[in-house]
A and B are shown apart, each in its own frame.
Chain A
Amino acid sequence: MLKLFLWFRYLRKKKIVFLSIAAAALSTTLLIVVASLFTGFINTLEQTAVQTIGDVVLSAPITFAKYPLFIEQLEKTSAVVAATATLSSQGLLHLGKGDVRAVHIWGIEPARRTKVTGFKKFLRRQGLSDKEPSFEVSDSPNDVGAFIGIAVIAEPNETTDEYDYSAIDRMIGEHVILTTGAKIEADDTSSNGQASSRFKRRTLKLTIADIVQTGVYDLDKGFIYLPIETLQEVLYPNEKESLANQIQIKLTEGIRTDVAIALIRGVWRNFVKQHLNDNPYLISYTDIETAKQMQSQYAGELRKQMGVLLLIFGVVSFSVIVLIFCIFYMIAKLKQRDIAIVKSCGAASGSVALVFLGFGCCVGTVGSGIGAVLAYIITKNINTIEEWIRIIFGMKLWKSSVYMFSKIPNNIDWWAVLPIVLFAIIAATIGTLIPAIVAARTNPVEILRYE
């Protein structure tokens, strides 16, 4: 009771204690916000990978045939809910006058893909429809439809980082020309005597059936999606079997990924053995990884950077301990008479020390609590804050072209909050250690002497 009385009294009389609370709150806020933003970015990176390419990806070193059969075998296992094939290539896309872009081409099965990934919700026109997504061009059923990444056809506004959606929507139904190529052909000589194509180049007139906005700039900037059959016809016109070079898989809820991967690898081996002439190249060099594993190197590097940044701010936050020490040392010195009276009434030195340590602990708790609340508010409203910074200072801090995502991930990292808050409380208590010892060693006889 006496301790509580003294704490409240010091808090009321010594306003300077609020400085230590403010400093602890500031440091806690900073550390939690930094940790949350980094963790949010890493989590978003991993979640987006799952949303765009599924839980597990099987990437073959070369194209392989009979993928529908493999998918059928996969879907019979308990580990797999659905799977879809992708045939990939690269090409040049002519969008209009003088506008040519290098693009990645993905031949996909839109309906199946929707079962494996969150593909449908990325489509601007068909995303809200109840029907399965398709490449059909409503007015011209004979046209070859294509989905195009939003940043392929338009750049976000330099100042606001927002797309002009009305202009983008007008692009649906427009024609574009795609150039791609495959398979080596005999050399040829062009009109000016220079060696010409060694590859068979194919141009394809496409109609934009829909726009894809995944929210990941690199995907939105560089991808065009075609029906897998169309792409196969273009790249491998003489091939009768269905071809793919990647299978994207959705796993059963709750299954362990290592078990699922082992199962998928087994199915793949059997499939290659039975249907692909036991091709050793396909068995040895096919990667089967989870979407998260595919991001692991980059995510690991981000985690390391977060650690370095937290260490730097943690070291700087060491000055909070110095601040608390100074404040409590001052209180211990200025309140020697109080302490002497308490001791003369029979309080032990340990109890006196505990008054200061407890007070320091309270300062740390209150400071870190306020800091955690502030950090929560800042992190949750980080996009609004960033927008206000843009409006006031004219500086766009977050751009999707630089930081991949169109919005700043704003989830609080609760796993980081607990250690940071604990660290702040311990730091505050450490800061009061020496003042507590000084107070405990106060000799009431000397302090309360009449002279």
Chain B
Amino acid sequence: MYKILIATRYLIRRHITYFAVLAVALCAFIVLVVMTVLTGLVSDFKLKNHLFTGDCVVGTKTLVGFTYYEDLNRILEQADFIESASAVIQSYALVSPNWTEQGLGLEIMGIDPVRHSMATGFGETLYYHKNDVSEAFEPVFKPDLLGCVLGVEVGNRLGNSLAPQRDPRGGYFYNDRFDESSVSVSCVPLTARGAPAKADLGLINTLNFYYSDYSHSGLARVDGSLVYTPFDQAQWLCGMDGPLKRANAIHIKFKPDVNLQTGCKKVALLLEKFKQEKADEEQAYLLDTVTVQSWKEYRRAHIAAMEKEQTMMTVLFGLVGITTVFIILVVFYMIISHKSKDIGILKSIGVSNADIITLFLGFASSVGLIGAAIGAFGGWLFLRKINQIEQWLFEHFGFQLWDRTIYAIGDIPNQVRFTVLAVIILSAIVACLAGAFIPSRQAARLNPVETLQVSQL
């Protein structure tokens, strides 16, 4: 009880303690704001990648693809842990609007829009056909034409004046008029051995598509370089529609209660069994390069960079936090210097060294807790208004934290996460304990006979 009383007394009476609380609060405030924004950005980016990919991908890196994908798709869909599976064609294409003499090298993805929307978040990224994905490839102005879905930034890259325009807040402005022009999409058809199918004739496959919709996944690279086409047409373009049809990947969504790793392991087992069953079939060698990856592994190259930046930022704040440890050390050193008589009296009535250390470490914890709580509260208030503040700055000074015409970021993430908050408060307490430890030990070593000498009083 006396420990609480003395700690509270020091906390209130020793004004120097307020500076320690202030320093902790300042650090907690900044760290909470920065980490909330960073964590929000990383989580948002991961979520968008997850929605783009689905839970798991069975596929091969080579553009040749693999055979018997229909059988594999059927087996996967019959599995009790899988909700849906969608086979896709992936390749590169030369895409040329009909009014220009030049083309753009882009990625194409051939999909069945309904299946793909069940396996991934594709349907949610559409603008005109969000409510009826089955018509995703039907141009609104003339549904019987062959349509393609452009990544929301691809239209601008193709020089299409009616393409959605990015607004300064990171959203898109969609034109009321439909663009009725077409694009020609050309691909190099590959044989099962990977050679160009018509190289000797100097031919490649080309199809004309009309714009049917735009897909806004929120992933800059995807939105700026991907064109979705119907599965069958993409298969023909890539030369995968022979007697033994091929596809590049199968995107899978697990049932809600299925753990990601468990699900991927089960898919890997199914794939192994499937490979064995097909071992003697024609072109079965193409299955050798097929692997199973969770969405995190599949998009690792993109996600890892952001996670590393978050880690680096944490390390930098850790370094800055050392100053807070120093402040606590100095404040406690001062308090102990001034309160040597209190300590002498406590020890003279039988309080042990460990109790003295506990007393000061408890005091340090209170400083950490109060400082972190004040900083966190301030941070929370600031984060609540961060988007309004940015909006105000933009309106009055033209300042944006991120230029939304360059970065695929919408609002600044401002949802404080419990884990981030807990880590910050715990770190603040640990920093205070670290800073107070040496002075506390020094206090415990004080000799009451010396500190309570008449000459010292």
Contact = CB atoms under 8 A, between A and B. Distances in A.
Interface of A: 16, 19-20, 22-23, 26-27, 30, 89-92, 94, 96-104, 177, 179-184, 187, 190, 192, 194-199, 201-203, 235, 297-298, 301, 304, 308, 312-313, 315-320, 322-323, 325-327, 329-330, 333-334, 395, 397, 399, 401-402
Contact of B206 (A94, A198, A330): A198
B354 interface: no
Contacts of B406: 297-298, 301
A316 B105 contact: no
A326 B337 CA distance: 13
Contacts of B322: 23, 26
Interface of B: 16, 19-20, 22-23, 26-27, 30, 34, 62-64, 91-94, 96, 98, 101-107, 146, 184, 186-188, 190, 193-196, 199, 202-208, 233, 236, 301, 305, 308, 311-312, 316-317, 319-320, 322-324, 326-327, 329-331, 333-334, 337-338, 399, 401-403, 406-407
A322 B204 contact: no
A20 B329 CA distance: 11
A94 B196 contact: yes
Contacts of B63: 98-100
A90 B316 CA distance: 43
Interface of chain B: mostly helix, strand, loop or mixed: mixed
| Interface SS, A side | mixed
Given A177-B199, A179-B204, A317 B188 contact: no
27 contacts: A19-B329, A19-B330, A26-B319, A90-B105, A91-B94, A92-B186, A92-B187, A99-B62, A99-B63, A102-B107, A179-B94, A192-B236, A194-B236, A198-B208, A199-B96, A199-B184, A201-B206, A301-B406, A304-B399, A312-B34, A319-B323, A322-B22, A322-B23, A326-B16, A329-B16, A395-B308, A397-B308
A399 B146 CA distance: 41
A261 B62 CA distance: 47
Nearest to A315: B30
Contacts of B34: 312
A12 B333 CA distance: 17
A396 to B, nearest CB: 8
Contact of B184 (A198, A235, A317): A198
Given A92-B188, A401-B301, A201 B208 contact: no
B432 to A, nearest CB: 13
A99 B195 CA distance: 9
A27 B320 contact: yes
Contact of B27 (A101, A304, A319, A325): A319
Nearest to A61: B159
B319 A30 contact: yes
A179 B94 CA distance: 9
A26 B98 contact: no
Contacts of A301: 402-403, 406-407
Nearest to B182: A198
A97 B333 contact: no
Contacts of B107: 102
Given A20-B326, A316-B26, A399-B305, 5 more contacts: A16-B330, A98-B63, A177-B199, A330-B330, A402-B305
